[in-house]
Amino acid sequence: MKDDILALWHAHRQAPLPDVPRESMGELWVLDEVIGGCVNFYLQAGGALDAPRKAVLEDCRADLVRLLPDMEETAASYFSRLETLAGLLIQASD
């Protein structure tokens, strides 16, 4: 699973930042930063994720699921990938 997370993370980091709805812009960029921080922690910790980070990821994932239906295709693709990353990290920490 670590290889899947690493590959998806590399793809995510290469993707340009999409235009997002103005009303959710701040929240989306915070979610991007928080999930990205958890990915970096997981990779640097040798594939480990602590319980507090797992809880944060679960909240972030729920927020993304709520926000995704209002996004245009490019933004939805970008943030769906981020939601998938969060899900993989949660699975890896079980």
Identify residue 9 by its one-letter amino acid code.
W
Alpha carbon separation from 72 to 17, 21, 31, 69, 86 (Å, rounded): 13, 9, 17, 8, 21
Our count of domains for the chain comes to: 1
Alpha helices in 1-94 (DSSP H): 2-14, 25-44, 51-67, 73-92
| Parent domain of 56 | 2-92
Q: What's the pLDDT at 46?
A: 86
The pLDDT of 20-40, averaged and rounded, is: 94
What is the spatial distance between Cα 9 and Cα 1, in angstroms, rounded to a whole number? 12
What one-character DSSP code corresponds to residue 50?
-
Over the stretch 45-71, which tens digit does the pLDDT of each residue have?
A: 888 899 999 999 999 999 999 999 989
Q: What's the pLDDT at 48?
A: 84
Residue 93 has pLDDT above 90, yes or no: no
Residue 27 has pLDDT above 90, yes or no: yes
Residue 13 has pLDDT above 90, yes or no: yes
